[in-house]
Structure formats: structure tokens, C-alpha cells
Amino acid sequence: MEMFASFDDSVFLEARDRVPVTLSAYDAKVCEPEWFCETSALHTEDPLEKQKIYKFRGDLAVRRGRHQEALDAYSSCQEWIADNNLTIRRDVLEGMARCCTKLGQRDRALDFANLLSKEVSNTCHLTSLLLLKVSIYQHFGAVGSKMAALQRLCSLLPFNPWHWHSLGQTCLQLLGDNTTGSCFPERCDSSEEQNDGGSEEEQPNDNRIWLKACTCFIRTRLLLRILRQQQSSFVLQRTETTLRMTDEALQRLSPKETTLQALTEVLSEDLIPDKMREDYQDGDSLANVCVQSFRERWWNKSLLADGLDAPC
């Protein structure tokens, strides 16, 4: 059997007219550590270089905990970002929002977050934006708005157990503070309320919050039990730790066995291995995010499950 019978002989001939290419000399640019901090670094007319210098200065200041210095550097960086460089623009806006959060400037932080929301074009952008909002709300104790943002995250990424666990912990916090009569000083964020189909947390009901907490922790437990089958090392350790915390939370909530079974059945309906693959989930389109509010998709399912009686 002639393995190479189908190849033309010319394939194996040497090229006769091959023109030799001479590479020009190339001198790599050598930069000293923190070269962008030098005053002389700004003695350039190149807008891209100035953008890089201010961006690097801001990032370094954040790493050192100098948030006002970082905010000033990011503000200067904005002036030199090209209109078509959306990636750097988003990165800088997020950095400014986080700096304002650390500096206690809640309204400015939310304003920068809202600027980011105008440039959301895919689910990755929306995920980053919601995580940013969660961190802002958490820093300022705005539990209601934080809960709304987490609900949108769970709608966007329904198979992510960490978002469900965070939402459950927020429900516990809200439930605990309601029983002590605490209130939360927070700026009302109408965008979160609209995306969540209204703000039910304005007039909290302990029984409903209790049911939401049970729902979140049961969903967390279902997802983590599936994930740990394919995990090892420190990733598995994190999962096991979160599972223990989830079980402890459910023990404190003390749902009846009928409630536990009914919720488990309802919350596991969509846990089909093929649907849980990453390549199955849409990462480019936002069309599926706003089809149903979180309340319609999850809370109402829990309410309609048989035998759900919150403890007195």
C-alpha cells in the first residue's frame, strides 16, 4: 500500500525562487520598575502612552490602598481613552466606582455604576456590573438593593451556587434585622426595582423572607452537590465548606420536612446535566435575562409548592 500516492511530487521539491527575508534590527523597550510614576513619563504627545501611564498609576494606588490618589489618576486617564476603546473605559469606570465606595462616596459610586450600565452589551458585562453593585450596596448596608442585584445575578446565572448562597445570606441578614426593628439607610435605586419587578423589601414580611432564605439555601445545596462530583483539591474544600454553612443555615431556619421536600422538588426541575454545561448558557445575548422577573421564576414557584408553612 502506497501511503503517499495521492501527493503530487512537486510538494516535496525545494523552492527555486524563494526570496530571502532579512529581519530588521529590533530593540526591545526596557522599562524600570514603576517607570510610569516618574514625572518625565508624561513628557509624551502620544495619547495612548498617557492613557497607559494614568491607568497604571491608578492600579498601583488601588493596590496600595490610596483610593483618592487612584481616583484622581483614573479621572485623568479618562481624558485620554479613545472613543472606541470600550474595554479600558469600562475598566476605569469600575475602578472609579470602587474607589468612591472605599472613600464613602455612595452616590458617586452608584453614578459611575450607572454609566457602566449604559454600555452593557452582553451577559459578561452585566455580570460584572451586578457584582460591582453588590459590593457597593454591601459596603453601605443597603440590604434591599443588594438583594435585588443578587436576584438579577441568579436569574442571569441560575446554575451558579455562590450567588444563590450570597442571596440566602442576605435574606438571613434581612430577616434578622427585621426582627430587631432595624432599618437600612440606602439610596433607592429604581433600576434594580424595575429589573426585579418591584421592591417587595419596602414592606418586609418575615414569613416571605424566611421562605426566600429556605429557597436560596436549598438551591445552593442542590447545585453544590452536583458540582463537587467533578471537583478536587482546594476547589472541593471550598465547596464542602459552603455546603456545611448551607446545612447550618437550613437547620437554623428549621423548615418542616414537607416544606423541604416540596422546595427540593421544585428547585431541581431545571437541573439537567446538558443544560448546566457552560457552553449551553448564553454568554452574548441579554434577551433571556428580562423574559421573566426573578419573582415569577423562583419566588412564586416556592409559594405554589405544596405544604409551605413558615414557622411562627
To the nearest whole number, what is the mean pLDDT of the chain? 82
- Which pLDDT belongs to residue 312? 37
* Mean pLDDT, rounded, for 136-155: 94
Is residue 290's pLDDT more than 60? no
Q: Which residues of 2-37 are buried (b: 16+ CB within 10 A; e: fewer)?
A: eeeeeeeeeeeeeeeeeeeeeeeeeeeeeeeeeebe
pLDDT digits (tens, 9 = 90+) for 296-308: 788 887 777 645 4
Q: Is the pLDDT of residue 292 over 60?
A: no
Structure confidence at residue 208 (pLDDT): 87
Q: What are the grid coordinates assigned to 148, written together?
A: 435585588
pLDDT tier at 200, thresholds 50, 70, 90: very low
In the structure grid, which three cell numbers stand for residue 178, read together? 427585621
pLDDT at 203: 46
For the stretch 80-126, pLDDT in tens is 999 999 999 999 999 999 999 999 999 999 999 999 999 888 889 99
The alpha carbon of 64 is separated from its chain's Cα centroid by a whole number of angstroms, namely 24
The CA-atom distances, in angstroms, between 129 and each of 85, 87, 119 are 18, 13, 10
Give the phi and the psi of residue 62 in degrees, each rounded to 5. -60, -45
Could you give the residue ranges of the DSSP H alpha helices within the chain? 47-63, 67-78, 86-102, 106-117, 123-139, 143-156, 161-179, 190-195, 206-227, 233-253, 257-267, 273-276, 294, 300-304
Q: Report the alpha-carbon distance of residue 131 to residue 120 in Å, rounded.
A: 13
CB 199 within 8 A of CB 189: no
Say what the pLDDT of residue 7 is: 55
Q: Tell me how far apart the alpha carbons of residues 87 and 189 are, in angstroms, rounded to a whole number.
A: 25
Query: Rounded mean pLDDT of 288-294?
Result: 56
C-alpha cell at 140: 453601605
Specify whether the CB–CB gap between 249 and 168 falls below 8 A.
Answer: yes
> What is the structure's pLDDT at 41?
84
Picking from 27-31, 59-63, 227-231, 288-292, which range would have the lowest pLDDT averaged per residue? 288-292
pLDDT for 14: 61
Q: Rounded to two decimals, what is the model's pTM? A: 0.79
CA 42 from centre of chain: 35
